[in-house]
Structure formats: structure tokens, C-alpha cells
Amino acid sequence: MAGAMSPLRILLGQRASQSTAWRRSLWASSHHCGAAANGTSHQPVAARLHMPSPTTSSTNNTTTSSRSFSSCTPRPQSAFQHALKCNHQWAETTQANDPDFFPTCAQGQAPRILWLGCSDSRAPETTLLGLKPGDVFTHRNIANILSPTDLSLLSVVEFSVFHLKVQHIVVCGHTSCGGVAGSMANGKLGGPLDIWLQPMRALREKHAAELAKLDGAEKMNHMAKLNVAAGVDVLKRIPTVIDAIRDRGLEVHGVLYHLASGKLEEVECKEDEAVAKGREEAFERK
């Protein structure tokens, strides 16, 4: 997008720069944990995974991690026990690098972003944003479907918008989404999945003509974007969100996370001004 950066991009840039030291501790923790698990201490985790090592910026000499501590190379031991070891090492390393971090977290939270995303293990919001615990309030489910009758979603929105006063809500879909693929299939998935994906299948029917012009990954990605836009629309019909947009400038965004590049793409969510005004008037305080 040309021109001035969006408020969301500016915010994410600020938060990411503040978490550089914390990200360094993640890399150190990952290295130590992986080495301890197999009795070595000289080979970086990234090398054992055939992944790039962390890169150093030539402009600010800061190091960023390409892997999180939870991605330590799995060992023959229990995956859960391995995760616990990585957690303990991460906690110790973080405490050593930033003694105030955990005490500050224990005092409360003041996230600026509410993130509504997919449960997919490849799309962890804090990691892909380059942020840290306390920066993002999160709700995730299969295929990031936002339903106006989902009490879990509505509770998260109410708490984060009304009580925590988040400044941004981000609806995030992603490429290669199993939920999107399931909604595009004609057969039954079985169990509750068919019921859960019903809103997306209805969306598929609504946009059948434009989807018919696309094939393969392009069609799937377009469907994912339609689902994100539908989620933004649902949010803008919630009275608490309407009030926050009007009273304090809350912003609602849609993005698509590209698994192949690790980058977010902003999804255009057009809204007719007359429709927006009608929503606000419908819930106007008496």
C-alpha cells in the first residue's frame, strides 16, 4: 500500500521494536533447550532443523529469531515433557535478560490489540507479529469464523473492548487453511465440523459466481479473504464495538497471513457509509 502507513502498521512497528531484546532471549532459550535435550551445546537449533539461523540487521545491529523456543527439535522423549523443559529454560532466560518482565505481567495487562484468528498451529499471533506476552488479547477457533451467536466470541469482545479498552481489533485468516478447504468441499466432514463451517459454506454460496472464476490456491485465498471480511462485518454489528468506534476511535482490521512468506496482507473490507450510519443509529444510546 502506497502513501502513509496505516495506524495498525505503525502500532505493530512500535511494538515489534520494543520486543527485540525479548525475542533475543527466545533464541537463546531455544538454542540451550535443544542442546540440552540431545547433550550438545555447540550446534544452533536452526542448523539441526536445516533452517536459517537468526539474522542480524545491518541498520540497527539487532538480532531476531527465526524460531521460537517451542520449536526446539522434538526428541524421543514425551513431547509434553520436552515442552516443559523448553518452558523452564525460556522462563529462566527471560528472567535473566529482563528481571522486571514477569513481575510486570503479574500486575495486570493492557494490550492494545484484540486478535481474532484461526487455531492453526502455524499462525501464532504473538510470534508472527514479533510481539510478546501482554501485547495481544487473543481468541482463536477453527477457520477464524465469527458468529454473532457465539457466546465465547462475544465474551472476548466485550471484555477486551469495554474493559481492556483495546485500540484495534484484527481479524486474521491465513493461506492453506483446512477450514477453508473443508468449506469448499462438497462432502460431509462429520461431527460438529459441518455445523461449525456452515457460515462459511453460506458465504461460498453467496459468492459462487466470483469464486467460479478462480482456481486452486487463488480460489482458496479469495475464500479466506471473504471470510475475514465477513468477520469484520459481524464485529461492526456488535453494540459494544459500535460504541467504541464512535466514542474513542476503535479500529477494526482484516488481514491474511501468508504461510509461505510469514507476512500479513491487509484485506480490504469495504463498507457502505449509509450502512455504517444505519448500524450506529440502530444502537444509539437513548
Q: Which of 122, 140, 207, 222 is catalytic?
A: 122
* 163 labelled ligand-binding: no
The grid coordinates listed for 157 are: 469482545
3-state DSSP assignment of residue 65: coil
**Does residue 88 have a known ligand-binding role?**
no
Contact 180, 231 (CB under 8 A): no
33 is in an annotated binding site: no
For 70-116, the DSSP string reads GGSPP-SS-HHHHHHHHHHHHHHHHHHH-TTHHHHHHT----SEEEE
DSSP for 219-254, written as a single string: HHHHHHHHHHHHHHHHHTTSHHHHHHHHHH--EEEE
> Known catalytic residue: 42?
no
The Cα angle at residue 210 between residues 207 and 216, in degrees rounded to 5: 105
Task: Name the catalytic one among 82, 120, 135, 253.
Answer: 120
Catalytic site residue from 72, 86, 118, 172:
118
Task: Answer yes or no: 118 catalytic.
Answer: yes
Residue 258, marked binder: no
Radius of gyration of the chain (CA): 21
Catalytic residue among 139, 174, 253, 279: 174
**Residue list for the binding site for Zn(2+):** 118, 120, 174, 177
Task: List, as residue ranges, the binding site.
Answer: 118, 120, 174, 177
Active site residues: 118, 120, 122, 174, 177
